[in-house]
Amino acid sequence: MAEFLSAMLSNIELIIERLDWMNLVDLILVTLIFFVILLLLRGTQAIVLLRGILLIIVLLSLLTTLEVLPAFSWLVRSTLPALLLAIPVIFAPEIRRTLERLGRAGTMLPSGITTSDIQEAITAVVSATARLSDRHHGALIVLRRSDGLDEYIKTGVTLNARVTPELLLQIFYPNTPLHDGAVILTGARLVAASCVLPLSASGVLGHSPDRQMGLRHRAALGISEVTDAVAVIVSEETGYISIVHAGRMIRRLDSERLENILRAFYRPYEKQKGLIGFLRRLFTRSPQVAREEK
């Protein structure tokens, strides 16, 4: 072991002696690439898998340097390339989501949607969810951002009506024809009701201590995992209001907090343009949203 540590220190000294400005720039670029990847994957199941794989690779690399284990070293050298090739397969969903996030960061709101339309929709949603919560009427409302939702709109009943609190209350009144499923809003237009959304398979709800979350919450998480839409849920059992975006859920909201969070989600589209706006949409979340998630 002493010889191993001595050899390692000698190698480190050799690397430092050969280090020049170009090598330093090279190291900084590689570090930035890994930093960006980790930043994009933070808060996902992929970061746990990545941590485990890196730990295994480090341990195997250390063990293969021991000359007293020639058979083990040969086995690791033979199987390590196959493990590296398997990484893209293991992380396929996360790689897809990361590329989608890069694409979304450069997009703005759909054409024809104005800031006043967004404010009108937010006001209607906040007013309706407060009253639905008081009455314990379940609801699932999806607000479109930049991603198209046409494939989910086609599963429901087309309304294409101006959104109002009264319209939302009528749709989600128990046992009415449209109360099952989700409503989808594009700006201030309620495009469709009784829409079918994909269910989340991430297992987030399985770790929650609150077992009252059912299909509405799974559907809200599901649509947030495959698009950049924002989903608002009212629990039929508890009356709790929740909001979901990018696979993250904030629960037990009141009207004021819900309105602040919804406005925070759309604020980057209103104020941030150009390269600065692209970077902010890619890497940051609104401070209001970050505080609510803690």
173 in a domain, yes or no? yes
- Clarify whether residues 267 and 191 are in a common domain: yes
Domain count, the chain: 2
Q: Which of 10-19, 203-212, 215-224 has the lowest mean pLDDT?
A: 203-212
- Domain's final residue, options 105, 127, 144: 105
- Clarify whether residues 135 and 61 are in a common domain: no
Output the pLDDT for position 113.
74
Integer Rg of the chain from CA:
25
157 in a domain, yes or no? yes
Question: Phi/psi at 47 (nearest 5 deg)?
Answer: -65, -35
* Range of the structural domain that residue 40 is part of: 2-105
- Clarify whether residues 86 and 204 are in a common domain: no
Q: At what angle do helices 92-105 and 274-283 cross, to 10 degrees?
A: 150
- Clarify whether residues 123 and 211 are in a common domain: yes
Output the pLDDT for position 280.
53
147 in a domain, yes or no? yes
pLDDT in tens, 50-59: 666 677 667 7
- Clarify whether residues 8 and 32 are in a common domain: yes
- Clarify whether residues 173 and 256 are in a common domain: yes
75 in a domain, yes or no? yes
- Domain's final residue, options 59, 79, 105: 105
pLDDT in tens, 172-210: 999 899 989 999 999 899 999 999 999 887 665 655 555
- Clarify whether residues 70 and 135 are in a common domain: no
Give the mean pLDDT of 274-282.
51
- Clarify whether residues 101 and 202 are in a common domain: no
| Residue 102: alpha-carbon gap to chain centroid | 12
- Clarify whether residues 164 and 190 are in a common domain: yes
Q: 3-class DSSP state for residue 67? A: coil
Q: 3-class DSSP state for residue 202? A: coil
**Residue 36 predicted with pLDDT over 80:** no
110 in a domain, yes or no? no
- Clarify whether residues 199 and 246 are in a common domain: yes
Q: Environment class of residue 127 by beta-carbon count within 10 Å: exposed (0-12), middle (13-18) or buried (19+)?
A: middle
Q: 3-class DSSP state for residue 243? A: strand
- Domain's final residue, options 52, 85, 105: 105
Output the pLDDT for position 262.
92
Output the pLDDT for position 148.
81
- Clarify whether residues 145 and 286 are in a common domain: yes
Output the pLDDT for position 121.
94
Q: Environment class of residue 217 by beta-carbon count within 10 Å: exposed (0-12), middle (13-18) or buried (19+)?
A: buried
201 in a domain, yes or no? yes
Q: In what order do the strands lie in the sheet with 139-143?
A: 157-162, 189-195, 182-186, 139-143, 230-234, 241-245, 248-253
Cα 264 to Cα 118: distance, rounded to the nearest angstrom = 12
**Residue 33 predicted with pLDDT over 50:** yes
- Clarify whether residues 267 and 288 are in a common domain: yes
140 in a domain, yes or no? yes
CATH code: domain of residue 136: 3.40.1700.10
Output the pLDDT for position 267.
74
Question: Phi/psi at 247 (nearest 5 deg)?
Answer: 75, 10
In this prediction, residue 258 has a pLDDT band, given cuts at 50, 70 and 90, of very high
